[in-house]
Structure 1
Amino acid sequence: MQFEIKHVLDIKAELAESPSWSVEQQALYWVDIENKTFNRFDPGTGRNERWPVPATPGCFNFREGGGAVLATNEGFFDFDFTTNRFEKICDAPFDSAEFRFNDGKADRQGRLWAGTIRLAFKIDGPPEGTFYRYEAGKVVPVIPDVMVPNGTAFSPDGRTMYRSDWRPEGRIVLQYDYDAATGTPSNERLFATMPEGFGIPDGATVDTDGFYWAAIPYGDKGRVARFAPDGRLDLHFEMPVLGPTMVAFGGKDMSTLFITSCRLESHMGLPVSPLGGDIFAVETHVRGIAETLSAKA
């Protein structure tokens, strides 16, 4: 299957992450972690607005009443779409000089899951990250011993949770049974292992058929891959950048796959991709699912 990859935003973000489609506004929101900005991209006009975040953002979710909740290294912040102002909700449950939030996603009830990574992270070091569950101003640690929190997603029925990580056995995606009533994952198991030549499974989403889509940076190529509900690699395509970071469905019928990227190759001694840090879009034959709004704290 062939996909036409469109270069939709020339922005050169250092680390674009957490794209999420606003159905109401028909716009893509996203964060640049390294440059500490919250962004709104309108594909219809090509315009991108940005707001400086008071701390380093990792991920976010839209909230009820017109706004968003952002997980940052200093805690959770509310952003109001009317005033374009940030207000701190609660402090971070960790030392912000040592850790920050990275990947995250809301479950089908609007609870925001966000995982932490040590700022001085080393791939041969111990797994020191934690996945936290945020709901209406309360933050609870749930999954400990995480190496690199990424790939968070939930099945269409909300009964399965996914996340990716690095482990001695390889670059993997894990799967859990998920109790939607309590927000509790259980029965951790292997969902998929990256094939030879593939890089790190990064930001992900699911489509209405329950297939898991993930950005996969830093293999022999940058890729986007889709995995079937049984973990089988269903399809993949190469990206024009080495560092795609996350995928999100959007557009009028939720069939456009938006892909963020980064410019972190220089930290690895590699040449930076000319289009690194830009945003791309691919028209697909499937549809995504709009994110459930988080409750306002």
Structure 2
Amino acid sequence: MDRSPRVLPASARRVVAEGNLGYLEGARWHRGALWFSDMTRRKVCRMVPGRQVEDVADVPGVPSGLGFAPDGTPMVVSLGDGRLLGVKDDELEELADLAPVAFHPNDMAVDREGRAYVGPQGYEFGSDPIGVGLIICHPDGRIETGGEDLIFPNGIVISGDGRTLVVAESFRAPRSRLTAFDVVDGGALVNQRVFAEFGSPDIESVDGIAIDSEGAIWAGFPWIGEFRRVREGGEITDIIRIEPDKTVYPDGGAFAVDSVLGGPDLHTLYLLISDTNPERLVNGFDATGRIEAIDVEVPGLPD
């Protein structure tokens, strides 16, 4: 039986947003709209399919991971000043100060009880990587850690039944990987294990991830401009290859950053893509972003 991954044709994709967009992260589907962070412009954004992107909130500290409280309140990680914020009536409210326990908190997933699982970068680029745990922010204000020795925990997702959490370890050497946990009552993380491994983080660094209704992961690989659908154990079933827009940055690439499943029937995979290069990226997230969409067979999870 041929188990080679399918390469989905570029003709199946469509551009749904472009123009005044920068480096895009934190893709989430919520109540009929795509939400994401524009790190270049320091905005939390929202897009209803068929409409223009709207800016929801300014986050001076650079917005990153997004999630939603049980009452629908948007939650965003402010990377630069290490805070977890709520967006209420277009204003920002501090929910937790993460700076004392997390160096450069980044991506996030929020469960149905309102617990926020946040991945801290853990170390400065250029220095030796430091293994860290995820930060768990409970609705009552308690802050705990979960897991250990995670190297640059990045994209984070939670399964439909709330019992499995998967996190991307972007710069785990010698191979980047996805790491899974069981989530027990009360939100603690146990049974840390490898979900899938890839190649060298210098080439196959894994970034943002999305989860579908079968528990497979759509993962972005920014350095090579690919999105891959991966099952637990490492089988790759589908590949989407993104070509850079050389009219934007002639020496740059198409960074396949993040994705999420949404749309009316949850069969639309939204792809967050940024044309940039490493030098521009570290210089204030200098990038030109766009959002593409493609219809896929396995749907996402209801919000």
Alignment match, 2:174: 169
Alignment match, 2:71: 65
Mapping for residues 1-297 of structure 1, pairs under 5 Å: 1=6, 2-3=8-9, 4-11=12-19, 13-23=21-31, 26-72=32-78, 73-80=81-88, 83-94=89-100, 99-118=103-122, 120-122=124-126, 125-127=128-130, 129-136=132-139, 137-165=141-169, 166-179=171-184, 181-195=185-199, 199-219=204-224, 222-241=225-244, 242-267=254-279, 276-291=288-303
1:170-225 Cα shifts (integer Å, max 9, x gaps) = 1111122221x121222222221225896211111211111111111102xx1111
- Count how many residue pairs are aligned between Structure 1 and Structure 2: 277
Whole-angstrom distance in 2 between the partners of 1:290 and 1:202: 23
Asked if the contact 1:131/1:149 (under 8 Å) is kept, the reply is yes
Whole-angstrom distance in 1 between the partners of 2:93 and 2:110: 20
Structure 1 runs of 4+ aligned residues shifted over 6 Å read: none
Asked if the contact 1:31/1:37 (under 8 Å) is kept, the reply is yes
Asked if the contact 1:77/1:90 (under 8 Å) is kept, the reply is yes
Alignment match, 2:249: none
After TM superposition, give the deviation of residue 263 of structure 1 in Å: 4.4
**Cα root mean square deviation, aligned:** 2.7
Identity %: 23
SS of match in other structure, 1:158:
coil
Whole-angstrom distance in 2 between the partners of 1:46 and 1:104: 25
**Counterpart residue identity of residue 234, structure 2:** G
After TM superposition, give the deviation of residue 14 of structure 1 in Å: 3.5
SS of match in other structure, 2:223:
coil
Whole-angstrom distance in 2 between the partners of 1:100 and 1:158: 26
TM-score by length of 1: 0.83
TM-score by length of 2: 0.81
Q: Which piece of structure 1 moves more, 205-214 or 136-145? A: 136-145
**Counterpart residue identity of residue 236, structure 2:** L
Asked if the contact 1:11/1:279 (under 8 Å) is kept, the reply is no
Whole-angstrom distance in 2 between the partners of 1:118 and 1:140: 16
Asked if the contact 1:12/1:263 (under 8 Å) is kept, the reply is no
Unaligned runs of 5+ in 1: 270-274, 292-297
Whole-angstrom distance in 2 between the partners of 1:284 and 1:16: 22
Asked if the contact 1:5/1:282 (under 8 Å) is kept, the reply is yes
After TM superposition, give the deviation of residue 168 of structure 1 in Å: 2.4
Asked if the contact 1:117/1:128 (under 8 Å) is kept, the reply is no
Asked if the contact 1:56/1:100 (under 8 Å) is kept, the reply is no
